Amino acid sequence: MRDVAIIGAGMIPFGRRDEDTLMEMLAYASLKALDDAGLGDKSVDAVYLANMGGGMLQHQSAIASSLVDRLSLLPAAADTVENGPASGASAIKNGLLAVASGYYDTVLVVGGEKMREVTGWRATDFVATMTHPQAEYPYGITLPGMAGMFTRLYMEKHGVTREHLLAVSLKNQEMGTLNPYAHVEMALDREGVFDSPHAVVNNPVSADPLHLYDLCPVSDGAAAIVICPLEMAKKLSKPPVLIAGFGQATDTHTLQERDDPTDLKAVTLAAKQALEMAKLKPSDISVAELHDAFTILEIAESEHVGFFKKGEGGKAAAAGKTRLGGQIPINLSGGLKARGHPVGATGVAQVVDIVWQLRHELPKTRQVKNAQTGLTVNFGGFGNNVLSFVLKRVEP
Protein backbone atom coordinates (compact mmCIF):
# COMPACT_ATOMS: atom_id res chain seq x y z
CA MET A 1 0.00 0.00 0.00
CA ARG A 2 1.28 3.48 -0.87
CA ASP A 3 1.22 6.45 1.49
CA VAL A 4 -1.40 8.96 0.33
CA ALA A 5 -1.26 12.73 0.74
CA ILE A 6 -3.65 15.64 0.29
CA ILE A 7 -2.28 18.17 -2.19
CA GLY A 8 -5.32 20.37 -2.76
CA ALA A 9 -8.13 21.65 -0.55
CA GLY A 10 -11.04 23.95 -1.27
CA MET A 11 -14.35 25.02 0.18
CA ILE A 12 -17.10 27.49 -0.58
CA PRO A 13 -18.80 29.48 2.18
CA PHE A 14 -21.54 27.45 3.85
CA GLY A 15 -24.95 28.94 4.52
CA ARG A 16 -28.09 29.60 2.54
CA ARG A 17 -26.97 29.71 -1.10
CA ASP A 18 -30.19 30.35 -3.00
CA GLU A 19 -28.20 31.59 -5.98
CA ASP A 20 -26.41 28.26 -6.58
CA THR A 21 -27.57 24.84 -7.68
CA LEU A 22 -26.12 21.74 -6.05
CA MET A 23 -24.02 21.13 -9.15
CA GLU A 24 -22.66 24.67 -9.13
CA MET A 25 -21.59 24.36 -5.50
CA LEU A 26 -19.86 21.05 -6.19
CA ALA A 27 -18.11 22.54 -9.22
CA TYR A 28 -16.91 25.68 -7.36
CA ALA A 29 -15.43 23.66 -4.49
CA SER A 30 -13.83 21.17 -6.90
CA LEU A 31 -12.17 23.92 -8.94
CA LYS A 32 -10.79 25.49 -5.77
CA ALA A 33 -9.23 22.16 -4.74
CA LEU A 34 -7.89 21.44 -8.23
CA ASP A 35 -6.35 24.93 -8.44
CA ASP A 36 -4.93 24.61 -4.93
CA ALA A 37 -3.27 21.37 -6.02
CA GLY A 38 -1.75 23.22 -8.96
CA LEU A 39 -3.16 20.75 -11.46
CA GLY A 40 -3.83 23.45 -14.04
CA ASP A 41 -5.47 21.90 -17.07
CA LYS A 42 -4.52 18.36 -16.08
CA SER A 43 -7.28 15.90 -15.28
CA VAL A 44 -7.63 13.41 -12.45
CA ASP A 45 -7.99 9.64 -12.65
CA ALA A 46 -11.14 9.44 -10.57
CA VAL A 47 -13.76 11.48 -8.72
CA TYR A 48 -15.58 10.39 -5.55
CA LEU A 49 -18.55 12.62 -4.84
CA ALA A 50 -20.29 12.62 -1.45
CA ASN A 51 -23.95 13.56 -1.37
CA MET A 52 -26.88 12.34 0.69
CA GLY A 53 -29.96 14.10 -0.62
CA GLY A 54 -29.63 14.94 -4.30
CA GLY A 55 -32.20 12.30 -5.20
CA MET A 56 -34.69 13.38 -2.55
CA LEU A 57 -34.19 17.15 -2.43
CA GLN A 58 -33.11 18.08 -5.97
CA HIS A 59 -34.65 15.14 -7.81
CA GLN A 60 -31.24 14.51 -9.33
CA SER A 61 -29.30 11.25 -9.48
CA ALA A 62 -25.94 10.08 -10.89
CA ILE A 63 -24.46 13.37 -9.70
CA ALA A 64 -20.80 12.33 -10.04
CA SER A 65 -21.29 11.59 -13.75
CA SER A 66 -22.74 15.04 -14.20
CA LEU A 67 -19.89 16.74 -12.32
CA VAL A 68 -17.04 15.17 -14.34
CA ASP A 69 -18.78 16.32 -17.49
CA ARG A 70 -19.29 19.85 -16.17
CA LEU A 71 -15.64 20.08 -15.04
CA SER A 72 -14.29 18.54 -18.24
CA LEU A 73 -12.62 15.76 -16.31
CA LEU A 74 -13.75 13.12 -18.82
CA PRO A 75 -12.99 10.21 -19.02
CA ALA A 76 -12.17 10.10 -15.27
CA ALA A 77 -13.91 7.37 -13.28
CA ALA A 78 -16.75 8.85 -11.23
CA ASP A 79 -18.78 7.52 -8.30
CA THR A 80 -21.34 9.06 -6.00
CA VAL A 81 -20.99 7.94 -2.38
CA GLU A 82 -24.02 8.07 -0.08
CA ASN A 83 -23.48 7.25 3.60
CA GLY A 84 -25.77 9.69 5.38
CA PRO A 85 -23.95 12.51 7.18
CA ALA A 86 -20.74 10.43 6.97
CA SER A 87 -20.83 10.48 3.16
CA GLY A 88 -17.92 12.95 3.01
CA ALA A 89 -15.52 10.81 5.00
CA SER A 90 -16.71 7.69 3.17
CA ALA A 91 -15.89 9.31 -0.17
CA ILE A 92 -12.41 10.25 1.12
CA LYS A 93 -11.90 6.67 2.30
CA ASN A 94 -12.81 5.36 -1.15
CA GLY A 95 -10.36 7.74 -2.80
CA LEU A 96 -7.67 6.93 -0.26
CA LEU A 97 -7.95 3.18 -0.85
CA ALA A 98 -7.95 3.64 -4.62
CA VAL A 99 -4.70 5.65 -4.53
CA ALA A 100 -3.08 3.54 -1.79
CA SER A 101 -3.72 0.40 -3.83
CA GLY A 102 -1.87 1.85 -6.77
CA TYR A 103 -4.88 1.76 -9.07
CA TYR A 104 -5.26 5.53 -9.41
CA ASP A 105 -2.70 8.29 -8.95
CA THR A 106 -4.73 11.49 -8.71
CA VAL A 107 -8.21 11.59 -7.22
CA LEU A 108 -10.66 14.42 -6.56
CA VAL A 109 -13.00 13.97 -3.58
CA VAL A 110 -15.85 16.45 -3.28
CA GLY A 111 -18.83 16.59 -0.94
CA GLY A 112 -21.85 18.84 -1.19
CA GLU A 113 -25.43 19.29 -0.14
CA LYS A 114 -28.21 21.77 -0.84
CA MET A 115 -30.70 21.55 2.00
CA ARG A 116 -32.14 25.06 2.23
CA GLU A 117 -34.25 24.95 -0.91
CA VAL A 118 -36.89 22.90 0.90
CA THR A 119 -38.85 23.92 4.01
CA GLY A 120 -37.54 23.10 7.49
CA TRP A 121 -40.28 20.44 7.73
CA ARG A 122 -39.01 18.72 4.58
CA ALA A 123 -35.33 19.02 5.54
CA THR A 124 -36.06 17.51 8.98
CA ASP A 125 -37.97 14.68 7.34
CA PHE A 126 -35.16 14.11 4.82
CA VAL A 127 -32.59 13.69 7.59
CA ALA A 128 -35.01 11.49 9.58
CA THR A 129 -35.10 8.98 6.70
CA MET A 130 -31.88 7.63 8.25
CA THR A 131 -33.89 6.26 11.16
CA HIS A 132 -35.33 2.73 11.12
CA PRO A 133 -38.26 2.69 8.66
CA GLN A 134 -40.52 0.55 10.85
CA ALA A 135 -39.25 0.83 14.42
CA GLU A 136 -38.47 4.58 14.54
CA TYR A 137 -39.46 6.74 11.56
CA PRO A 138 -43.27 6.35 11.78
CA TYR A 139 -43.28 7.87 15.28
CA GLY A 140 -41.90 11.20 14.09
CA ILE A 141 -38.46 10.79 15.63
CA THR A 142 -35.85 13.17 14.28
CA LEU A 143 -32.06 13.20 14.65
CA PRO A 144 -32.34 16.05 17.20
CA GLY A 145 -34.89 13.87 19.02
CA MET A 146 -32.41 11.00 19.19
CA ALA A 147 -29.77 13.43 20.41
CA GLY A 148 -32.22 14.67 23.07
CA MET A 149 -32.71 11.15 24.43
CA PHE A 150 -28.97 10.50 24.26
CA THR A 151 -28.21 13.79 26.04
CA ARG A 152 -30.49 13.07 29.00
CA LEU A 153 -28.95 9.60 29.44
CA TYR A 154 -25.41 10.99 29.06
CA MET A 155 -26.11 13.74 31.58
CA GLU A 156 -27.39 11.20 34.10
CA LYS A 157 -24.54 8.74 33.58
CA HIS A 158 -21.56 11.03 33.05
CA GLY A 159 -22.51 14.22 34.87
CA VAL A 160 -22.68 16.50 31.81
CA THR A 161 -24.57 19.70 32.62
CA ARG A 162 -26.23 22.43 30.56
CA GLU A 163 -23.25 24.63 31.53
CA HIS A 164 -20.97 22.16 29.74
CA LEU A 165 -23.16 22.16 26.63
CA LEU A 166 -23.22 25.95 26.73
CA ALA A 167 -19.40 26.08 26.79
CA VAL A 168 -19.30 24.15 23.49
CA SER A 169 -21.96 26.34 21.95
CA LEU A 170 -20.25 29.61 22.96
CA LYS A 171 -16.83 28.41 21.77
CA ASN A 172 -17.98 27.13 18.40
CA GLN A 173 -20.14 30.12 17.59
CA GLU A 174 -17.24 32.41 18.55
CA MET A 175 -14.98 30.47 16.19
CA GLY A 176 -17.65 30.77 13.49
CA THR A 177 -17.32 34.55 13.62
CA LEU A 178 -13.63 34.11 12.70
CA ASN A 179 -14.25 31.70 9.84
CA PRO A 180 -15.28 33.28 6.52
CA TYR A 181 -16.67 29.90 5.39
CA ALA A 182 -19.02 29.54 8.38
CA HIS A 183 -22.78 29.52 8.01
CA VAL A 184 -23.36 31.12 11.42
CA GLU A 185 -21.16 34.14 12.02
CA MET A 186 -22.83 35.31 15.21
CA ALA A 187 -21.23 35.15 18.63
CA LEU A 188 -23.55 34.14 21.43
CA ASP A 189 -23.88 35.99 24.69
CA ARG A 190 -24.15 33.77 27.74
CA GLU A 191 -26.78 35.97 29.32
CA GLY A 192 -28.91 36.07 26.18
CA VAL A 193 -29.09 32.31 25.74
CA PHE A 194 -28.71 30.98 29.27
CA ASP A 195 -28.88 33.30 32.26
CA SER A 196 -31.54 35.93 31.61
CA PRO A 197 -35.35 35.54 31.46
CA HIS A 198 -35.07 36.32 27.72
CA ALA A 199 -33.10 33.10 27.22
CA VAL A 200 -36.39 31.18 27.19
CA VAL A 201 -37.37 33.09 24.05
CA ASN A 202 -33.90 33.41 22.47
CA ASN A 203 -32.89 29.81 23.06
CA PRO A 204 -36.03 27.67 23.37
CA VAL A 205 -36.06 23.93 23.93
CA SER A 206 -35.72 22.18 20.60
CA ALA A 207 -35.30 18.51 21.53
CA ASP A 208 -35.46 18.31 25.30
CA PRO A 209 -33.04 18.76 27.05
CA LEU A 210 -31.28 20.31 24.04
CA HIS A 211 -32.02 23.93 23.17
CA LEU A 212 -31.91 25.75 19.84
CA TYR A 213 -28.24 26.74 20.20
CA ASP A 214 -27.23 23.17 21.00
CA LEU A 215 -28.08 22.23 17.40
CA CYS A 216 -26.23 22.81 14.14
CA PRO A 217 -27.97 24.74 11.37
CA VAL A 218 -29.37 23.25 8.15
CA SER A 219 -26.93 24.40 5.47
CA ASP A 220 -25.95 24.49 1.83
CA GLY A 221 -22.27 24.04 1.00
CA ALA A 222 -19.50 22.04 -0.61
CA ALA A 223 -15.85 21.16 0.05
CA ALA A 224 -13.21 19.24 -1.90
CA ILE A 225 -9.71 17.76 -1.69
CA VAL A 226 -7.24 16.32 -4.21
CA ILE A 227 -5.12 13.34 -3.18
CA CYS A 228 -2.16 11.51 -4.72
CA PRO A 229 0.71 9.24 -3.62
CA LEU A 230 2.97 10.91 -1.03
CA GLU A 231 6.04 10.48 -3.23
CA MET A 232 4.37 12.54 -5.98
CA ALA A 233 3.15 15.10 -3.44
CA LYS A 234 6.67 15.71 -2.13
CA LYS A 235 7.64 17.20 -5.48
CA LEU A 236 5.05 19.98 -5.11
CA SER A 237 5.64 23.32 -3.43
CA LYS A 238 3.04 23.19 -0.63
CA PRO A 239 3.61 20.94 2.38
CA PRO A 240 1.74 17.71 1.66
CA VAL A 241 -0.64 16.48 4.33
CA LEU A 242 -0.34 12.74 4.83
CA ILE A 243 -3.48 10.72 5.50
CA ALA A 244 -1.65 8.84 8.23
CA GLY A 245 -4.57 6.79 9.46
CA PHE A 246 -8.23 6.09 8.98
CA GLY A 247 -10.85 4.01 10.71
CA GLN A 248 -14.48 3.15 10.19
CA ALA A 249 -16.92 1.26 12.36
CA THR A 250 -20.67 0.65 12.56
CA ASP A 251 -23.19 0.11 15.34
CA THR A 252 -26.83 -0.96 15.62
CA HIS A 253 -29.34 0.99 13.56
CA THR A 254 -31.64 1.66 16.52
CA LEU A 255 -30.38 3.16 19.77
CA GLN A 256 -32.64 0.79 21.72
CA GLU A 257 -30.61 -2.26 20.68
CA ARG A 258 -27.35 -0.95 22.13
CA ASP A 259 -26.44 -2.51 25.47
CA ASP A 260 -25.47 0.95 26.71
CA PRO A 261 -26.97 3.69 24.51
CA THR A 262 -24.47 6.22 25.92
CA ASP A 263 -21.54 4.17 24.61
CA LEU A 264 -20.62 5.37 21.11
CA LYS A 265 -18.74 2.20 20.20
CA ALA A 266 -18.31 3.10 16.54
CA VAL A 267 -16.61 6.39 17.48
CA THR A 268 -14.21 4.61 19.83
CA LEU A 269 -13.36 1.95 17.24
CA ALA A 270 -12.99 4.28 14.27
CA ALA A 271 -10.67 6.66 16.15
CA LYS A 272 -8.69 3.78 17.64
CA GLN A 273 -8.10 2.29 14.18
CA ALA A 274 -7.07 5.67 12.77
CA LEU A 275 -4.68 6.42 15.62
CA GLU A 276 -3.13 2.95 15.56
CA MET A 277 -2.59 3.12 11.80
CA ALA A 278 -0.87 6.50 12.31
CA LYS A 279 1.09 5.10 15.27
CA LEU A 280 -0.09 8.00 17.43
CA LYS A 281 -1.87 8.43 20.76
CA PRO A 282 -4.75 10.85 21.40
CA SER A 283 -2.31 13.05 23.31
CA ASP A 284 -0.16 13.39 20.15
CA ILE A 285 -2.95 15.19 18.26
CA SER A 286 -2.52 18.95 17.75
CA VAL A 287 -6.06 19.82 16.65
CA ALA A 288 -9.38 18.02 16.05
CA GLU A 289 -12.58 18.49 14.08
CA LEU A 290 -15.34 16.49 15.77
CA HIS A 291 -18.89 16.00 14.49
CA ASP A 292 -20.81 18.39 16.77
CA ALA A 293 -24.20 18.22 15.06
CA PHE A 294 -25.35 18.64 18.67
CA THR A 295 -23.20 20.12 21.45
CA ILE A 296 -23.42 16.88 23.42
CA LEU A 297 -21.65 15.06 20.57
CA GLU A 298 -18.52 17.22 20.80
CA ILE A 299 -18.28 16.34 24.49
CA ALA A 300 -19.10 12.64 24.05
CA GLU A 301 -16.76 12.23 21.06
CA SER A 302 -13.91 14.02 22.88
CA GLU A 303 -14.21 11.28 25.50
CA HIS A 304 -14.73 8.38 23.11
CA VAL A 305 -11.67 9.17 20.97
CA GLY A 306 -9.58 9.35 24.13
CA PHE A 307 -8.86 13.07 24.58
CA PHE A 308 -10.56 12.95 27.99
CA LYS A 309 -11.80 10.25 30.34
CA LYS A 310 -15.53 9.53 30.44
CA GLY A 311 -17.20 12.20 32.51
CA GLU A 312 -14.37 14.70 31.97
CA GLY A 313 -15.21 16.03 28.49
CA GLY A 314 -17.86 18.48 29.65
CA LYS A 315 -15.68 19.83 32.44
CA ALA A 316 -12.78 20.16 30.00
CA ALA A 317 -14.93 22.19 27.59
CA ALA A 318 -16.10 24.46 30.42
CA ALA A 319 -12.49 24.89 31.60
CA GLY A 320 -11.37 26.03 28.14
CA LYS A 321 -9.23 22.97 27.45
CA THR A 322 -10.77 22.59 23.98
CA ARG A 323 -10.22 26.22 22.94
CA LEU A 324 -7.32 27.56 20.90
CA GLY A 325 -4.29 27.33 23.19
CA GLY A 326 -5.95 24.65 25.32
CA GLN A 327 -4.96 21.02 25.86
CA ILE A 328 -6.66 19.87 22.62
CA PRO A 329 -8.27 22.56 20.47
CA ILE A 330 -11.52 21.21 19.00
CA ASN A 331 -13.60 22.62 16.15
CA LEU A 332 -11.65 25.83 15.56
CA SER A 333 -13.65 26.05 12.31
CA GLY A 334 -16.77 26.54 14.42
CA GLY A 335 -17.63 22.89 13.84
CA LEU A 336 -20.94 21.79 12.42
CA LYS A 337 -22.46 24.06 15.04
CA ALA A 338 -21.26 27.25 13.30
CA ARG A 339 -19.57 26.28 10.01
CA GLY A 340 -22.82 24.47 9.26
CA HIS A 341 -23.83 20.96 8.28
CA PRO A 342 -24.58 20.40 4.60
CA VAL A 343 -24.61 16.67 5.28
CA GLY A 344 -22.73 15.38 2.24
CA ALA A 345 -20.07 18.09 2.55
CA THR A 346 -19.29 17.87 6.26
CA GLY A 347 -16.78 15.00 6.29
CA VAL A 348 -14.77 16.64 3.50
CA ALA A 349 -14.99 20.10 5.11
CA GLN A 350 -13.56 18.72 8.37
CA VAL A 351 -10.54 17.40 6.47
CA VAL A 352 -10.14 20.69 4.54
CA ASP A 353 -10.04 22.61 7.82
CA ILE A 354 -7.41 20.25 9.24
CA VAL A 355 -5.34 20.57 6.03
CA TRP A 356 -5.34 24.36 6.45
CA GLN A 357 -4.30 23.92 10.09
CA LEU A 358 -1.43 21.58 9.18
CA ARG A 359 -0.20 23.86 6.40
CA HIS A 360 -0.25 26.72 8.94
CA GLU A 361 -2.36 28.81 6.55
CA LEU A 362 -5.02 30.12 8.95
CA PRO A 363 -5.05 33.50 10.68
CA LYS A 364 -3.63 33.55 14.22
CA THR A 365 -7.10 33.69 15.74
CA ARG A 366 -7.79 30.13 14.51
CA GLN A 367 -4.35 28.65 13.87
CA VAL A 368 -2.89 26.12 16.32
CA LYS A 369 0.75 27.11 16.59
CA ASN A 370 3.03 24.65 14.79
CA ALA A 371 0.21 22.10 14.34
CA GLN A 372 1.64 18.78 13.17
CA THR A 373 -1.25 16.32 13.50
CA GLY A 374 -5.03 16.48 13.25
CA LEU A 375 -7.95 14.13 13.84
CA THR A 376 -11.48 14.13 12.44
CA VAL A 377 -14.65 12.27 13.39
CA ASN A 378 -17.52 12.14 10.88
CA PHE A 379 -20.62 10.68 12.56
CA GLY A 380 -23.29 9.02 10.42
CA GLY A 381 -26.85 8.27 11.52
CA PHE A 382 -26.88 8.43 15.27
CA GLY A 383 -23.44 6.89 15.57
CA ASN A 384 -24.23 3.81 13.50
CA ASN A 385 -21.56 4.55 10.87
CA VAL A 386 -18.54 6.57 11.92
CA LEU A 387 -15.28 7.43 10.18
CA SER A 388 -12.14 8.98 11.59
CA PHE A 389 -8.98 10.28 9.92
CA VAL A 390 -5.59 11.17 11.36
CA LEU A 391 -3.68 13.66 9.21
CA LYS A 392 -0.02 14.58 9.53
CA ARG A 393 2.04 17.48 8.17
CA VAL A 394 4.96 16.42 5.99
CA GLU A 395 7.74 18.92 5.36
CA PRO A 396 8.27 19.38 1.59
Partner 1 sequence: MKKEIAITAYKCRKCGKIHYPYHDRCLECKGREFEQIKPEGDVTLLAYTAIFNLPWGFDQRYLILGVAEFENHVKAMGQIKVDSVDQLKAGMKMKPSWEPVRVQYGEDVYGLKFEPME
Give, for 108, the enclosing helix (H) or strand (E): strand 107-114
- Between residues 62 and 135, which has the closer beta carbon with respect to partner 1? 135
- Between residues 269 and 352, which has the closer beta carbon with respect to partner 1? 269
Nearest approach, Cβ of 207 to partner 1 (angstroms)? 5
- Between residues 31 and 128, which has the closer beta carbon with respect to partner 1? 128
Stretch that binds partner 1, among 121-129, 188-196, 312-320, 323-331 (CB under 8 A): 121-129
Q: Tell whether residue 254 is a contact of partner 1 (CB under 8 A).
A: yes
Site for partner 1 in 216-235 (CB under 8 A): none
CA end-to-end distance (rounded Å), the chain: 21
Report the distance separating Cα 179 and Cα 22, nearest Å.
22
Q: Please, where are the H alpha helices in 292-333?
A: 295-304, 313-318
Nearest approach, Cβ of 269 to partner 1 (angstroms)? 16
Q: Please select the residue that binds partner 1; options are 10, 13, 84, 144, rule is CB under 8 A.
A: 144
Nearest approach, Cβ of 357 to partner 1 (angstroms)? 33
Nearest approach, Cβ of 136 to partner 1 (angstroms)? 5
Report the distance separating Cα 133 and Cα 122, nearest Å.
17
Report the distance separating Cα 219 and Cα 182, nearest Å.
10
Report the distance separating Cα 309 and Cα 6, nearest Å.
32
Give CA separation, 388 vs 143, 265, 268, 274, in Å: 21, 13, 10, 6
Report the distance separating Cα 181 and Cα 179, nearest Å.
5
CA 162 to chain centre: 23
Q: Tell whether residue 205 is a contact of partner 1 (CB under 8 A).
A: yes
Stretch that binds partner 1, among 169-177, 249-257, 265-273, 275-283 (CB under 8 A): 249-257
Site for partner 1 in 27-86 (CB under 8 A): none
Q: Which residues bind partner 1 (CB under 8 A)?
A: 119-122, 124-125, 128, 132, 134-136, 138-142, 144-145, 148-150, 152-153, 156, 204-209, 252-257, 261
